[in-house]
Amino acid sequence: MVVHKKAGLKEFELIRWIQRQAGCSSHLTMGIGDDCSIQPQQEGQDLLTSTDLFIEGVHFRRDWSSWFDLGRKAAAVNISDIAAMGGTPQSLFLAIGRPNEMSDAEVEEFISGFLAEVEIHGAVLAGGDTCSSPGPLLISVTVQGTVATTEAICREGASYGDAIYVSGSLGDSALALQLLKEGQQPDPYLAGRFHTPTPQVALGRELSKRQLATAMLDVSDGLLADLNHILTASGVGAELDLAKIPLSEPFQSALSENFSLIDLALAGGEDYELVFTSPLKDLDSQIELESAVRQIGIISLEPGLRVRQKSGELYHCQRGGFDHFT
Ligand code: ADP
Ligand code: MG
């Protein structure tokens, strides 16, 4: 008798196993392992593709968000994967597993939000699938975009001495989620960061066109976990400066009452900001960019990821990044 044990592999162990089984193909420049796959097209263009699941009770709760905002977010977090490669989003595919008790009005509101977000980015809903679900609402979104050949920014290009930058601010979305879980209402800014994140498409495009970044990804699982993907893929380490992590005013005001909240900025997730490395120092003060970026650290030869406090002592984050199986 075959005994099926509960999930034992961690999320990334399972993905690595799938990656080995799948192998690679000469028609792809990049397969499994980055924010998007890269498939060369004719005339100097590469096709970027990424897919993500959005499951009720895992990724969202219907009592916390409007259906319109959930639709927007389902599109935004996928478009963010195109931004993370420096590409332009073009076509989205939306598959819906609809629970019986979800009304027509709710489905319509969800789709309206999805379409509104898609339109903001000049993309289009190009297909999908619709069926019933005996359990929770299941959403699967695939996004395709384009990038000029050689301009896609992957996770594997970071080198010793590169500066590490992050756009916007970190921790806002995770703080909003924590407040919602505690039954509190986050202030409108924090709530907006959680319900309707903004994919950094223009900044990603600019960094790739001007070839300013050596490696890049979007922060979905938390800064430390996501930066670790760059370090592993590039075979380097990093040192971060805790005092330089960019924080919004509402986040700082919560932090002034409880310093342990800093772990939400380091490992909270769902920021959908871009983290990238660049040989150029002081990019934040020297170059005018689409969005504000902040240098938060440096790539080191010594493997691993260290976060240093102002005093020079190491800071140990108490939170792990998000893993679906732990
Ligand atoms: P992201 O946070 O950008 O969604 P993931 O951590 O989900 O990235 O995935 C990492 C890589 O593994 C991506 O290249 C993704 O396409 C691939 N991947 C994840 N799950 C699977 C799967 N079930 N089958 C094939 N590839 C997968
Ligand atoms: Mg994913």
Which part of the chain is CATH 3.90.650.10? 163-315
Among protein residues, the one with the nearest Cα to ligand 1's atom 11 is 33
Q: pLDDT value at position 319?
A: 86
Q: What is the pLDDT of residue 9?
A: 86
pLDDT at 110: 96
Q: Copy the structure tokens of residue 264.
A: 């939400």
Nearest to 74 by CA among 142, 170, 13: 142
Q: Which ligand has an atom closest to residue 218 CA?
A: 1
Q: What is the pLDDT of residue 23?
A: 87
Q: Tell me which residue of 207, 105, 112 sits closest to 153, measured CA to CA.
A: 207
Instruction: Write out the chain's pLDDT in tens, 326 residues.
Output: 444 556 788 888 889 999 999 888 889 999 999 999 999 998 899 999 999 999 999 999 999 999 999 999 999 999 999 999 999 999 999 999 999 999 999 999 999 999 999 999 999 999 999 999 999 999 999 999 999 999 999 999 999 999 999 999 999 999 999 999 999 999 999 999 999 999 999 999 999 999 999 999 999 999 999 999 999 999 999 999 999 999 999 999 999 999 999 999 999 999 999 999 999 998 888 788 888 999 999 999 999 999 999 999 999 999 877 777 76
Is the CB of residue 288 less than 8 Å from the CB of residue 203?
no
Span(s) in the chain for CATH 3.30.1330.10: 34-148
Give the closest residue (by CA) to ligand 1 atom 2: 220
Q: What is the C-alpha to C-alpha distance for residues 309 and 196, in angstroms, rounded to an integer?
A: 32
Fold of the domain built from segment(s) 34-148: 60s Ribosomal Protein L30; Chain: A; (3.30.1330)
Alpha carbon of 91 to ligand 1 centroid (Å): 19
Taking the CA of residue 32 as reference, the ligand 1 atom at the shortest distance is 14
In ligand 1, the atom with minimum distance to the C-alpha of 221 is 2
Closest ligand 1 atom to the C-alpha of 51? 16
Cα 42 → chain centroid: 29
- The CA dihedral of 254, 298, 35, 61, to the nearest 10 degrees, is -10
- Backbone dihedral angles phi then psi of residue 163, each to the nearest 5 degrees: -80, 150
Q: Which protein residues are within 6 Å of ligand 1, measured from CB?
A: 15, 18, 32-35, 52, 81, 220
CB 172 within 8 A of CB 270: no
**pLDDT at position 4:** 55
113 and 76 Cβ atoms separated by less than 8 Å: no
Main-chain phi, psi angles of 19, to 5 degrees: -60, -40
Report the alpha-carbon distance of residue 261 to residue 254 in Å, rounded.
Answer: 8
Sequence-ordered alpha helix ranges (H) in 238-305: 249-255, 262-267, 283-286
For 121, the token pair is: 């980015």
- Residue of the nearest CA to atom 26 in ligand 1? 32
C-beta separation of 199 from 291 below 8 A: no
For residue 220, report the distance from its CA to the centre of ligand 2, in Å.
Answer: 9
What confidence score (pLDDT) does residue 320 get? 78
Instruction: Give the residue, out of 19, 24, 32, with the most ligand 1 atoms within 8 A of its beta carbon, to mutate for a pocket test.
Output: 32
- How is residue 321 annotated by DSSP? P
Judge: domain 163-315, CATH 3.90.650.10. yes
Centroid of ligand 1 to alpha carbon of 283 (angstroms): 30
What pTM, to 2 d.p., does this model score?
Answer: 0.92
Nearest CA to ligand 1 atom 21: 15
pLDDT at 2: 45
Asked whether 172 and 190 are in contact (CB, 8 A), the reply is yes
Write down the pLDDT at residue 5.
59
Q: What is the phi/psi pair of residue 320, to 5°? A: -85, 165
Q: From ligand 1's centre to the CA of 93, what distance in Å?
A: 17
Q: How far apart are CA 232 and CA 276, in angstroms?
A: 14
Ligand approaching nearest to the C-alpha of 232: 1
The CA distance from 303 to 232, in Å, is 9
